[in-house]
Homo-oligomer: A and B are copies of this chain.
Amino acid sequence: MSLYTTQELKIYNSLSKQKEVFKPITEGFVGMYVCGPTVYSNVHLGNLRTFMSFDVIYRYLKFLEYKVRYVRNITDAGHLESDDVTEDRFAKKARLEQVEPMEVVQKYTVDFHNVLNTYNLLPPNIEPTATGHIVEQIQMIEDILKSGNAYEVNGSIYFDVVKYNEKHHYGILSGRNIDEAIHNTRELDGQSDKRNPQDFALWKKAEPQHLMKWNSPWGEGFPGWHLECSTMSTKYLGEQFDIHGGGMDLKFPHHECEIAQSVACHGTAPVHYWMHANMLTLNGQKMSKSTGNYILPAEIYEGGNSVLSKAFSPSVVRFFMLQAHYRSILDFSSDALEAAEKGYTRLMEGMKLLGSLKTSATSQVDMTSWKKSCFDAMNDDFNSPILIAQLFEGVKYINQINDGTLQITAADLEILKATLEGFVKEVLGIESTDNNQDSGKLNGVIEMLIMMRNQARVDKNWALSDEIRDKLLAIGIQLKDSKEGTTYLIQN
């Protein structure tokens, strides 16, 4: 019996605006699609948080032993700034830099993967690109045209929102009232090919100077931005699938358009559970390049930036971000990161003791109930902050057992160990920062110095004992003496 059959998972569905019990379309399997990055600049911190939120959701579904197919796209073409601009963002950037658009795409795709690897996000199972699905997008446009919900003007194809809204509900996800919008809109100026301002492009005719363009039944052009996600999600997950995620800012118009496109093409709403991750602010303000209130994910661990007091390791940043629920706004600041670093260290220190705890014939604590509370937290719409609070309960038990003030059986210790390690490493994806080859040698050398210091103390050579402690501290290694012996903390 898999874990998912014994636990009831609730997910907040943006469509119904309430928490619902999760029931996948096919028992045991989950299809999940998340809108990925537009690769014409470095991935920003807000995006990183969104992708990390869905990384933990993906990890927890796998932890529950679902077979998950997680698809996250790369937008490398067709991301229009406006339907009335015939040049997409890549071509513009590329021309400024005097490079081929796909060189820009490659540069920032590599950056994106590097940053996500550094922050320990798992790669999705499929990572499709917009340029890799031109044929499929053309096919979908043809199907939408056949359904009568789109029209061609001068080599461009537009989705007919007004026509669609006669039979369906455009606004079902975002709650926007299309009738009101139409009523309040002034007439279009002569510049636009669109019948109504609410209509959106499925295909845009390319001007001769346009760099990214493809042959189509309507001449050379490029797909509209909303189309790729509809095409790729249904290609790899089916016309109906379980979970679609993305940042809050994508709810309208992007996800609203995705629903309309799928309903027009396949006759069914595509997604059972819509999930949206909230924003990130920096020092209480919106991040903005122009005001300087801005930091790139790589600048956090490299240090030397003007926004934060010091460098923070990717593990600490990850721990910090997961201390907030994915649907809450998160403020990023030095003070908050420093506090998170203390918590992270306490968690890692506690877990280091797991291997050396003494067991007893009886337990003075109910481990099964504690373990259940960890699952309960995540089953309540992936509530990672509540989970982390429960993990600190576990650390409290460890320290009490270590002090000899709490007794635990070997069986219960095994539950404590497996639960903590499972949730910390597999679900939250938080790793100890000392996991490379040199770290092994570093630990060896530190342990050697602790033994030498112990010998110095036996010899009552207090000067040497203090010298070892002080010099290690200067290097960034803190010794901590207790009646159980000496442990150490390697500072970041």
Contacts and interface: CB of A to CB of B under 8 A. Distances in A.
A438 B442 contact: yes
Interface in A444-487: 444-446, 448-449, 452, 471-472, 475-477
Nearest to A446: B445
Nearest to A131: B132
Interface stretch (A120-128, A155-163, A179-187): A120-128
A138 B128 CA distance: 20
A255 to B, nearest CB: 23
B441 A490 contact: yes
B442 A135 contact: no
Contact of A135 (B134, B441, B471): B134
Contact of A441 (B69, B437, B475): B475
A252 interface: no
Contacts of A128: 102
A106 B135 contact: no
A402 interface: no
Contacts of A107: 125
Interface string A99-132: 0101101110110010000000001111111011
B139 A215 contact: yes
* Chain copies in the assembled complex: 2
Nearest to A101: B126
A198 interface: no
A431 to B, nearest CB: 14
A129 B102 CA distance: 11
Contact of A445 (B126, B135, B477): B477
B438 A449 contact: no
Contacts of A364: none
Given A437-B492, A449-B445, A106 B126 contact: yes
A438 B436 CA distance: 8
A392 interface: no
Given A123-B110, A135-B215, A445 B475 contact: yes
Given A113-B113, A126-B106, A131-B132, A448 B436 contact: no
A403 interface: no
A434 interface: yes
A438 B444 CA distance: 12
Contact of A438 (B113, B135, B438): B438
Given A100-B69, A100-B236, A106-B125, A475 B132 contact: no
B442 A471 contact: no
A439 interface: yes
Contacts of A126: 100, 102-103, 105-106
B134 A106 contact: no
A138 to B, nearest CB: 8
Contacts of A434: 438
Contacts of A437: 492
A135 B139 CA distance: 12
A69 B98 CA distance: 12
Select the residue from A103, A136, A445, A471 with max chain B CB neighbours within 10 A.
A445
A442 B444 CA distance: 10
A477 B126 CA distance: 44
Contacts of A113: 113
A105 B100 CA distance: 25
Interface string A193-220: 0000000000000000000001100000
Nearest to A237: B100
A128 to B, nearest CB: 7
Contacts of A110: 123
Contact of A102 (B105, B236, B446): B236
Shortest 10 CB-CB distances between A and B: which pairs? A132-B132, A444-B475, A442-B442, A135-B214, A438-B439, A102-B126, A438-B438, A445-B445, A110-B123, A131-B132
15 contacts: A69-B100, A106-B125, A107-B125, A113-B113, A135-B215, A136-B214, A139-B215, A437-B492, A438-B490, A441-B475, A441-B477, A445-B446, A445-B475, A448-B472, A449-B449
Given A102-B128, A436-B438, 20 more contacts: A69-B103, A106-B124, A106-B125, A106-B126, A107-B125, A109-B127, A134-B134, A135-B135, A135-B214, A136-B214, A438-B438, A438-B442, A441-B442, A441-B477, A442-B442, A442-B445, A445-B449, A445-B472, A445-B477, A449-B449
